[in-house]
Structure 1
Amino acid sequence: MSTYLTGLIVLFLTLTLHASELLVVTEEWPPYNYKENNLVTGYSTEIVQKVLKKANINYTIRLYPWARAYDLALKKENILIYTIVRTPEREALFQWLGPILPGKKFYLYKLKSRKDISLTTIDDAKNFKTAIMRDDVTHQFLNARGFIDEKHLDLSVSEEINIKKLFNNRADLIIGNVESLPLRIKNLQFDFSKVEPAIFMFEHGYYMALSAQSDEQLFNRLNTAMKQVFTPEYQKSLALKYKVKLLFPSSDE
């Protein structure tokens, strides 16, 4: 009986360890998640790493094109994806942790020189070609409003490709926010002062999300660790480190 019980305990521990090994996926999106000196870092990455360390969970972080990262998290168990926008359409697709970042305002952007582009409503953008990243939240947002792939939308695997298309006059519009878009444009050695918002799109908060197929106990461990380590003070210190703008109750915004 003792040998039998010992075997059960070993099996239980092995299965628990296996269930606790996560593949953590995200995209290249500075200053939140990006590779530097061959290591994945950034505002959101440090939060994820601190939570997983507190939860004592083994993990590997991989940077993928967003469509691949999203597909993995959608279809496989024990996948943690970040920095992901939480929308009503996505609510039942994942187990949500956060928010790790307040909502950012996303706009359709155009070149200032394009005086022919004037948008009063989102639907007005159907008269132009918008370069957009496949399967990200903005793609889903526009699809839900009747924008058709290849007709209204020019799909790509990265925002960097979209920026190049805009500046090379191969697209009329791109999507971004005032915090990350200037950095991406600068990294590509273009001039952010040459672009301007054409119209506001939406604002949603950013989260970590565990694939829906994952064990509920694993989610509970992550959620408990999140509440313990992700304090307002820690968030503010990270925001200062990575120059991320946060909206706090004392803010004027």
Structure 2
Amino acid sequence: MMTRRGVVLGVWLLGISLISPARAGLESLQYLSEEYKPFNYTQPSGHPAGLAVELLERIWKRTHTQPQVIRFLPWARAYQRLQLQPGTVLFSTARTRTRDSLFHWACPIARTPIVLLALRSRQLHLDNLQQLATYHVMAVRADVGEQLLHTQTDSWLKLDTTHNLELALKQLRAGRIDVLSFNERVARQVWQEMGEQDAALQTLWSLGEQEFCFAFSPGTSTQLIAQFRQALQQEVSSEGYPQLLERYQLRH
């Protein structure tokens, strides 16, 4: 015959078994991002916003996950955590050949070109990437713009880096650098928010269109990643996804 103590213990163990799956769900992941408008950014109110943030919130809703904290960090620091800390999600992350085998992926958020930008007033011209050797070139540290340039120039290019896009654009505006390697749509949007005219920027060269995704660190639960991917695919396949791209001016 089961004692009263045994009944209480049985109820407690049952409660643990019911609670554990929730604790092991998407709530257990750490969500990291950066200022990368219109993909992900903080509003003046301090709340996160952007295409990727909206997709993430819809994924949480589909998976019955309570809204989680999104931490905004400088890209290089967030990227380092993605490499070292299991259970980390970083977005929006370009899925390049160099990065592909390093992480697990849930795609897509959207696709957008990575380009070399210059001031139109400088009247610079490129026939090939070897000509970059004569220019002062900058990228954001650990960003896809830096990685693609190193890949496509076999690392011979001397490249300055900074931790912040706006600082890089200010350097470009002041004439302290000649060329900036970055996501074209993001750079142009920040440029205009700085009070500058879009036409003042010239696209010198395209490094290729990149797919931006949610990247998961090594060691993250494959079951959680599969759950996340399924919810993302449901969103991307929905009627609302093209409208979402349109609203953030990311639809081709």
Q: Is the 8 Å Cα contact of residues 22 and 57 (structure 1) preserved in structure 2?
A: no
Q: Which runs of 5+ in 1 are unaligned?
A: 248-253
1 CA distance for matches of 2:30 and 2:214?
13
TM-score normalized with structure 1 length: 0.86
Which of 175, 190, 197 is the matching residue for 1:169?
Answer: 175
Q: Is the 8 Å Cα contact of residues 130 and 153 (structure 1) preserved in structure 2?
A: yes
Q: Is the 8 Å Cα contact of residues 33 and 90 (structure 2) preserved in structure 1?
A: yes
Letter of the 2:116 partner, please give it.
L
Which of 105, 110, 115 is the matching residue for 1:107?
Answer: 115
Letter of the 1:104 partner, please give it.
T
Shift of 1:4: 6.3
Shift of 1:110: 1.1
Shift of 1:27: 1.2
Q: Is the 8 Å Cα contact of residues 147 and 153 (structure 1) preserved in structure 2?
A: no
1:246 is matched with 251
Deviates more, 1:10-19 or 1:77-86: 10-19
Which of 126, 134, 138 is the matching residue for 1:131?
Answer: 138
Query: Does 2:164 align with 1:158?
Result: yes
Distance 1:4 1:97, change over 3 A: same
Distance 1:118 1:72, change over 3 A: same
Query: Does 2:54 align with 1:46?
Result: yes
Q: Is the 8 Å Cα contact of residues 122 and 201 (structure 1) preserved in structure 2?
A: no
Aligned-residue identity in percent: 23
Shift of 1:214: 0.5
Query: Does 2:40 align with 1:33?
Result: yes
Q: Which runs of 5+ in 2 are unaligned?
A: 1-5
Deviates more, 1:175-184 or 1:84-93: 175-184
Q: After TM superposition, list the pairs within 5 Å mapping 1:174-193 onto structure 2.
A: 174-193=180-199
1:146 is matched with 154
Query: Does 2:228 align with 1:228?
Result: no
Q: Which has the higher helix share?
A: 2
User: Secondary structure of the residue that 1:229 maps to in structure 2?
Assistant: helix
Query: Does 2:83 align with 1:89?
Result: no
Deviates more, 1:198-207 or 1:174-183: 174-183
Bigger CA radius of gyration: 2
Deviates more, 1:219-228 or 1:46-55: 219-228
